[in-house]
């Protein structure tokens, strides 16, 4: 994308994103007003709650209508200015080999298996593991399994991913970097899938939302599955016309090395569990081509520490992602 198109894209206001959020606020107000029926009738709190219920139901119409208007304005009038009319990109791959970088934080139960899986893949040149100050035997097990190992002393998922990408991008013999986790939720054989889409994009992001490709009992509870989809669609709305996003929380992705080097400078490693949303949002703001590809998702080995620990944690991480999208991640600066 040219500099001119990029600058233009930055100037566009994300009306659809604002519209969806304002509409959602209206919907929550409306439902809260309706649900007050229970304390009003069951507990006999008519005098106190009737005026509030009427107020909520009546005034919820304002954000609902405003939200729909903003969304329609973006979709019907702005879309044509937002989506650049460029031919579909196709950049043939010169050498089908990748450098794999795995995040790890106290993942001693799974790390060796993950390293072996990736090292055995015929398209993998090398496997890097960044242990994020693990206090267990993760580092040693990764090394013994054949990985190039690093320790990242600053704690946090964002710090670990940033270090993974930075170390992997140093290898000039591979055109692509594959980022993944060492917790056995992802499989090396999906590299073929990611590479199939690589000629069309700068980043091919794995999506865990395609039903036959995900095992039923994984970290993706129904709540987290739909939460991911919702925040993914908000991100898509923010960059209307540029990408289709169904999974905002997946680590597994393939990045074109040259694009990654530019992108790394723009990323803030202090963004913690929301880092993936930050990376995708920044990539789109910088004019990179982001494409999704279905990948498989499997049960975790070992204890979860990320955004998928439970639904409450998922809700917190998701809410912080929305704040990040609205504020362009400025509160982390």
Ligand X SMILES: Nc1nc2c(ncn2[C@@H]2O[C@H](COP(=O)(O)OP(=O)(O)O)[C@@H](O)[C@H]2O)c(=O)[nH]1
Residues found near ligand X in the complex (CB under 6 A)? 103-105, 107, 132, 155-157, 160, 181-183, 219, 251, 300, 304-308
Q: Which residues contact 249 (CB under 8 A, 6 or more apart)?
A: 224, 228, 231, 276, 277, 307, 308, 317
Size of residue set near Mg ion by CB under 5 A: 3
Which of 186, 223, 209, 22 is closest to 101 using CA atoms?
Answer: 186
Locate 163 and state its tokens.
């270090």
Which of 280, 113, 294, 92 is closest to 192 using CA atoms?
Answer: 294
**Cβ(98)–Cβ(72) under 8 Å?**
no
182 touches which of ligand X, Mg ion, none (CB within 5 to 8 A by kind)?
ligand X
CA-CA distance, 243 to 237, in Å (whole number)?
9
**Measured CA distances, 289 to 68, 79, 257, 259, 263 (Å):** 28, 17, 13, 10, 12
Cβ density class 215-247: b for 16+ within 10 Å, e for less? eeebbbeeebbebbbebbbbbbbbbbbbbebbb
Minimum distance of ligand X from residue 214's CB (angstroms): 14
DSSP symbols for 221-233: -HHHHHHHHHHHH
CA-CA distance, 53 to 50, in Å (whole number)?
5
**CB-nearer residue toward ligand X: 9 or 208:** 208
Minimum distance of ligand X from residue 146's CB (angstroms): 18
Site for Mg ion in 143-182 (CB under 5 A): 181
Minimum distance of Mg ion from residue 219's CB (angstroms): 7
Site for Mg ion in 176-235 (CB under 5 A): 181, 183, 185
Minimum distance of ligand X from residue 203's CB (angstroms): 18
Q: In what order do the strands lie in the sheet with 124-131?
A: 148-151, 124-131, 98-104, 176-181, 253-256, 203-207, 290-294
297 touches which of Mg ion, ligand X, none (CB within 5 to 8 A by kind)?
none
Minimum distance of ligand X from residue 166's CB (angstroms): 14
Minimum distance of Mg ion from residue 107's CB (angstroms): 9
104 touches which of Mg ion, ligand X, none (CB within 5 to 8 A by kind)?
ligand X
Minimum distance of ligand X from residue 306's CB (angstroms): 2
**CB-nearer residue toward ligand X: 228 or 243:** 228
* Residue 247 in the binding site for Mg ion (CB under 5 A): no
**CB-nearer residue toward Mg ion: 307 or 324:** 307
307 touches which of Mg ion, ligand X, none (CB within 5 to 8 A by kind)?
ligand X
**CB-nearer residue toward Mg ion: 82 or 298:** 298
**CB-nearer residue toward Mg ion: 183 or 247:** 183
Residues that bind Mg ion (CB under 5 A): 181, 183, 185
């Amino acid at each position: 994308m040219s500099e001119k198109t990029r600058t233009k894209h930055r100037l566009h206001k994300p009306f659809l994103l604002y519209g969806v959020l304002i509409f959602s606020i209206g919907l929550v107000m409306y439902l809260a007003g309706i649900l007050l029926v229970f304390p009003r009738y069951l507990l006999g709190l008519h005098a106190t709650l009737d005026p509030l219920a009427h107020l909520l139901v009546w005034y919820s119409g304002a954000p609902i209508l405003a939200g729909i208007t903003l969304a329609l304005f973006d979709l019907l009038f702005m879309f044509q200015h937002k989506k650049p009319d460029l031919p579909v990109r196709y950049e043939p791959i010169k050498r089908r080999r990748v450098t794999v970088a795995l995040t790890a934080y106290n993942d001693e139960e799974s790390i060796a298996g993950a390293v072996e899986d990736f090292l055995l893949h015929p398209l993998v040149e090398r496997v890097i593991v960044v242990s994020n100050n693990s206090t267990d035997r993760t580092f040693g097990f990764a090394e013994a399994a054949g990985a190039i190992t690093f320790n990242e002393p600053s704690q946090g998922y964002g710090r670990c991913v940033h270090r993974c990408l930075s170390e992997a991008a140093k290898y000039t013999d591979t055109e692509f970097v594959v980022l993944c986790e060492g917790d056995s939720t992802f499989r090396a054989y999906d590299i073929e899938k990611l590479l199939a889409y690589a000629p069309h994009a700068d980043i091919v992001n794995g999506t865990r939302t395609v039903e036959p490709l995900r095992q039923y009992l994984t970290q993706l509870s129904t709540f987290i599955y739909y939460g991911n989809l919702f925040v993914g669609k908000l991100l898509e709305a923010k960059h209307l016309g540029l990408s289709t996003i169904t999974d905002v929380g997946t680590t597994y992705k393939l990045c074109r090395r040259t694009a990654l080097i530019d992108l790394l400078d723009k990323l803030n490693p202090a963004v913690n569990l929301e880092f993936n949303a930050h990376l995708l949002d920044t990539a789109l703001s910088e004019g990179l081509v982001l494409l999704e590809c279905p990948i498989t998702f499997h049960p975790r080995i070992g204890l979860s520490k990320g955004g998928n620990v439970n639904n409450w944690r998922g809700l917190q991480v998701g809410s912080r992602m929305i704040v990040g999208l609205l504020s362009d991640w400025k509160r982390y600066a």
